[in-house]
């Protein structure tokens, strides 16, 4: 069965430090991959997406993600974290023609001043 794993429940980084959030998926075909961010009390906002082509994709707010087929991964990165990046981050996989998304369990990012 298709699944998405975010192995880190919480991550704490210092402001200005680099960030990498991990995402692994299990899916038989070429996946459609997404990262969403949820600020406290808010809905989800799309950060970036991968459908095909260049495996390094750029998103909003200075985030990027790299698709690695050999590792079934789609890790999210940011070179310098800002305090406003504190939020929960969800990785998701799009599957089949129903347009459903499967979400990971989320990673909560805390930013130290």
Which residues form the interface with another protein (CB under 8 A)? Answer: 4, 6, 9, 32, 34, 36, 41-46, 49, 51, 90, 94, 98-101, 103-106
**Contact partners, residue 25, CB within 8 Å, separation at least 6:** 2, 3, 4, 5, 31, 33, 72, 73, 74, 91, 93
The nearest distance, CB 43 to another protein, in angstroms, is 4
User: Nearer to another protein by C-beta: 84 or 105?
Assistant: 105
The nearest distance, CB 106 to another protein, in angstroms, is 5
User: Nearer to another protein by C-beta: 6 or 21?
Assistant: 6
The nearest distance, CB 16 to another protein, in angstroms, is 29
Nearest to 81 by CA among 37, 24, 34: 37
Q: Which residues are bridge partners to 36 per DSSP?
A: 46, 90
């Amino acid at each position: 069965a298709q699944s998405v794993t975010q192995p880190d429940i919480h991550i704490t980084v210092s402001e200005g430090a680099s960030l990498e959030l991990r995402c692994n998926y299990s899916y038989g075909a070429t996946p459609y991959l997404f990262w969403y961010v949820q600020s406290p009390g808010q809905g989800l906002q799309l950060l970036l997406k991968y459908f095909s082509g260049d495996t390094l994709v750029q998103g909003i707010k200075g985030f990027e993600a790299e698709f690695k087929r050999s590792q079934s991964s789609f890790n999210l990165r940011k070179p310098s974290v800002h305090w406003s990046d504190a939020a929960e981050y969800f990785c998701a996989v799009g599957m089949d023609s129903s347009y459903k998304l499967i979400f990971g369990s989320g990673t909560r990012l805390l930013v130290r001043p």
